[in-house]
Amino acid sequence: MRIQISSIHVHHFLRAAILTGFAVYTAYLLLSGEILQFIVPQLVIYVKCADIVLFITAGFQFYIAFLSLKEQTISCGCGHDHQESDPSHDHAFGHHHTHAIEESLWKNVVIYGLFIIPLVLGACLPNKAIASSMVDKKGMNLGGYTIQNRPASGDMVELGGNEDPSLKQLFKANVYDQDYARLGIFIYKQPLIEMKDEWFIEKLRALNTFADNFQNKEISIKGFVYREAGLPGNQIIVGRMGMTHCIADISPYGIIAEAPDSNTLANDSWVTVTGKVGKTQYNGQTVIKIMVEKVEAAAEPSVPYVYPDWNFASKL
């Protein structure tokens, strides 16, 4: 009688190691903040809960693995491992064995590879995509939430509340754009329209919905440089990648910037552009543009995405 390592022990430890790997990698993403490269902030709490479950499951799997090592086996020369406590083993009339895992070597390699390879790639490869390549595939959205596809205008009505009557008249909107009219008034009151991460997509929608109201207003935006085929040589797009739920649904959003020396700016470089709001045509739609007054090089943010805020109107 002797204690030996069998295939089932190897499987137990492999499963425990894989579970631990995913748990540790997820914890790293959470602690470093890189989880926001993959999901929106509202979903982070669910990932934290899932990671706790992963650690518990991995610990339980290690417990099973070490427990299985304590089982003594008998080597009888028949090519199988038999537990000492199994009285049903009969060499004369055949074997009654329970083999938990009897897959072929290659089948095991494929099955475990499906889990190990993504884990290794996730740990080794940088969490970064080239913005221009993403825009080439998905197309640039210059209106925010694809305003060209929203329902017909309908009756234009003034906003309620205690706003200045002249502003309420200026930002008359249909039922679908009431919240963006309120945001438009909020933006209009500011001496400088700053396209920060917060409400980036919502501001873009408001600016394009009420483009006439913002003509010659000062505006500043930070983003990556993108050149689209068909744009004049003095125009670039300053863009950001927007994420609705996870990395699978990212979409590029941006504003056309017009400057005589825009050809000196490299694709995918990050810049801060300041200028005045104007209007131009893009794919048959009237959209805002920036008549550039100043361009400064900018550092790429650690999390380059912007996220929609479906409850922005309640925060105005």
What is the model's pLDDT at position 71? 65
What is the model's pLDDT at position 114? 92
What is the model's pLDDT at position 98? 45
Half-sphere exposure of 315 (CA within 13 A, CB side): 7
b/e per residue 189-220 (b: at least 16 CB within 10 A): eeeebebeeebbbbbbbbbbbbbebbeebbbb
Percent of the chain with pLDDT over 70: 83
Assess whether pLDDT exceeds 70 at residue 146: no
Which residues lie across from 282 on neighbouring strands?
A: 285
8-state DSSP, 240 = E
Query: Tell me: the pLDDT tens digits for 256-266?
Result: 999 988 888 99
Alpha-carbon distance of 165 to 163, in angstroms, equals: 6
- Three-class secondary structure of residue 194 per DSSP: strand
Query: Tell me: the pLDDT tens digits for 293-304?
Result: 999 999 999 888
- In angstroms, the Cα distances linking 196 to 13, 104, 164, 271, 307 are 48, 56, 26, 13, 11
The residue with greater pLDDT, 146 or 243, is: 243
Assess whether pLDDT exceeds 60 at residue 239: yes
What is the model's pLDDT at position 148? 47
**pLDDT band at residue 229 under the 50/70/90 scheme:** confident
* Amino acid letter, residue 203: K
Alpha-carbon distance of 76 to 91, in angstroms, equals: 9
3-state helix, strand, coil in the chain (%, to 5): 40, 20, 35
Give the H or E element holding residue 81: strand 81-83
Query: Tell me: the pLDDT tens digits for 62-104?
Result: 999 888 887 654 444 454 555 544 444 444 434 444 444 455 7
* Closest to 282 (Cα-Cα) out of 153, 142, 114, 100: 142
What is the model's pLDDT at position 92? 43
Helix and strand numbers (H, E) in the chain are 7, 9
- In angstroms, the Cα distances linking 232 to 87, 257, 262, 270 are 86, 11, 10, 20
Alpha-carbon distance of 68 to 14, in angstroms, equals: 13
Assess whether pLDDT exceeds 70 at residue 9: yes
79's tokens: 């090519």
Assess whether pLDDT exceeds 80 at residue 144: no
Alpha-carbon distance of 120 to 118, in angstroms, equals: 6
Half-sphere exposure of 46 (CA within 13 A, CB side): 8
**What is the distance, to the nearest Å, from the Cα of residue 76 to the centroid of all Cα atoms in its chain?**
56
Q: Which of 7-16, 55-64, 160-169, 273-282 has the lowest mean pLDDT?
A: 160-169
Half-sphere exposure of 198 (CA within 13 A, CB side): 9
Strands 193-195 and 218-226 turn out to be parallel
Read off the pLDDT of each residue in 114-126 and give the average, rounded to a whole number. 88
